[in-house]
Amino acid sequence: MGYNKCCIPGCSTKYGHDLILRIFPTDSILKTKWRQNLGNIRISQSSAVCELHFAQSEFEKIREDGKKKLKQNAVPSLSEEVRCHLSRLSHCIESDHSYNKLLPDKEECYV
């Protein structure tokens, strides 16, 4: 494995956190869609994107072992839903140092 952190500027997710990193697809059409949705960032063969940059709708149902699996044609996003999720996670990390605890859904999200 050559990747160790999320390649999205401003994201601090690293390998070893409770979040999964997804490498860029080998399919050139899907890889282009990923890059376009992420602002045409520079990537290398070892670039990866953490699961926080995928909307929940991009995942299949959670498996019995608790792991998440991306849908075959999933594309990461910098959408409002994803930014809100990142904002909530960032707040939790700063206050609780807990990487997998989210704020309740009723909390406001300021982006």
d(CA 35, CA 31): 6
In a domain, 30, yes or no: yes
Does this model's pTM top 0.85? My answer is no
**Which residue segment(s) compose the domain that 54 sits in?**
21-86
CA 60 to chain CA mean position, Å: 15
d(CA 89, CA 44): 27
In a domain, 34, yes or no: yes
* Predicted confidence (pLDDT) per residue in 37-80, tens digit: 888 888 888 889 988 889 888 988 877 887 788 898 999 987 65
pLDDT of residue 82: 55
Residue with tokens 């990461």: 76
Helix (H) or strand (E) holding 90, with range, is helix 80-96
d(CA 91, CA 72): 31
- Kindly state the greatest CA–CA separation across the chain: 40
pLDDT of residue 94: 47
In a domain, 73, yes or no: yes
Q: How confident is the model at residue 19 (pLDDT cuts 50, 70, 90)?
A: confident
d(CA 35, CA 49): 11
In a domain, 103, yes or no: no
Nearest to 83 by CA among 40, 38, 42, 46: 38
In a domain, 6, yes or no: no
